[in-house]
Amino acid sequence: MDVTLLKVTAVFYLLGTGSFIVYLVLPKALLSRLSPLILLGGFLIHTSALGVHFFQSGYPAVTQFREALSFYCWFMVGVYLLFQLKYHLTVLGCIIAPLAFLMSLAAFAFGVGTGELPPELKTYWLLLHVTLAFLGNAVFSLAFGVSLMYLLQEFQLKKKKTNVLYRLFPSLETLDRLNYVFLVWGFPLMTLGIITGSLWAGFRWGNYWSWDPRQISSGITWLLYGALLHGRITSGLRGKKAAVLTILGFAVVLGYFLLGGSVFPSRHAGSFE
């Protein structure tokens, strides 16, 4: 993949992070408009980097672990920007932008080379599977963002001590509802991601489940989010508990990306035997 483009992308995400943080301290309308635009700039460059790879090789850049991380990051920023367009929740960017920057940085930490995909894996299954799975992860990242905001806002209201975030953050009710919305979108996407991956593995290797670290972490997250969604719908599980569970689920997703995949060889990290 074009390393220069990825580097420029990371620089943009860093600038975006800076702009969002300044916005926290100095909540001016200009910064509220500018910060997402900087992030959009990064996103477009990121898109071109991924696009170049896709058109040269014919498959998305996800065979290497670092590529997967970058791909995830791209989806997350994209989904956030779409969300921002509709809801103008600029403060959410204060969580997403640094996350995007750290993910881009982490991707570099795992090297810069491109992996080779065995030609027999170049199928539409790959595109379908990774798109669904990463889209699900991206939506969960936003769920994580609003949940973190929920906890911060709830803490201030309970402690009866407010700081600068109090005014910038929306109400608990709004944040809790967004948690639900993201869950409702993210969960089916993730489910489909797991199903397509599993079916593909079944056709290709003969076993649907191979206890690959990615599968294990996804399984845990899936169960966790499934239980959370179930609780939300049936028994009034909401507010702080829902926020904590969402953050936990996201920690598992991120934990895999930062630890699991790089340590254990797997089909999700460039070894296809």
Looking at beta carbons only, is 21 or 237 nearer to another protein? 237
Q: Which stretch binds another protein (CB under 8 A): 2-10, 126-134, 172-180, 245-253?
A: 172-180
Beta carbon of residue 215, minimum distance to another protein (angstroms, whole number): 33
Which one of residues 88, 122, 230, 241 is an interface residue with another protein (CB under 8 A)? Answer: 241
Which one of residues 4, 171, 207, 271 is an interface residue with another protein (CB under 8 A)? Answer: 171
Q: Which stretch binds another protein (CB under 8 A): 95-103, 125-133, 167-175, 190-198?
A: 167-175
Q: Which stretch binds another protein (CB under 8 A): 43-51, 119-127, 207-215, 235-243?
A: 235-243
Beta carbon of residue 168, minimum distance to another protein (angstroms, whole number): 11
**Largest separation between any pair of C-alpha atoms in the chain:** 60
Beta carbon of residue 221, minimum distance to another protein (angstroms, whole number): 24
Beta carbon of residue 238, minimum distance to another protein (angstroms, whole number): 5
Q: Which stretch binds another protein (CB under 8 A): 40-48, 73-81, 87-95, 234-242?
A: 234-242
Looking at beta carbons only, is 86 or 273 nearer to another protein? 86
Number of residues near another protein (by CB under 8 A)? 20
Query: Pick from 80, 92, 106, 9: which is nearest to 49 by CA?
Result: 9
Which one of residues 24, 237, 247, 248 is an interface residue with another protein (CB under 8 A)? Answer: 237
Which one of residues 174, 191, 210, 262 is an interface residue with another protein (CB under 8 A)? Answer: 174
Give CA torsion, residues 194, 195, 198, 201, to 10 deg: -110
Q: Which long-range contacts link 191-199 to residues 24+ away (Cβ below 8 Å)? A: 191/136, 191/222, 192/132, 192/136, 193/129, 193/130, 193/132, 193/133, 193/134, 193/135, 193/136, 193/218, 194/133, 194/218, 194/219, 194/222, 196/125, 196/128, 196/129, 196/132, 196/133, 197/129, 197/133, 199/125
The pair of structure tokens assigned to 30 is: 């200009």
Would you count residue 166 as binding another protein (CB under 8 A)?
yes
The pair of structure tokens assigned to 253 is: 């997703």
Q: CA-CA distance, 105 to 92, in Å (whole number)?
A: 20
Residue whose entry in the numeric block shows the structure tokens 């990306």 = 257
Which one of residues 87, 111, 112, 173 is an interface residue with another protein (CB under 8 A)? Answer: 173
Q: Binding mask 69-108 vs another protein (x if CB under 8 A, - otherwise)? A: ----------------------------------------
Looking at beta carbons only, is 144 or 169 nearer to another protein? 169
Residues that bind another protein (CB under 8 A): 153, 157-158, 160, 162, 166, 169-174, 177, 235-241
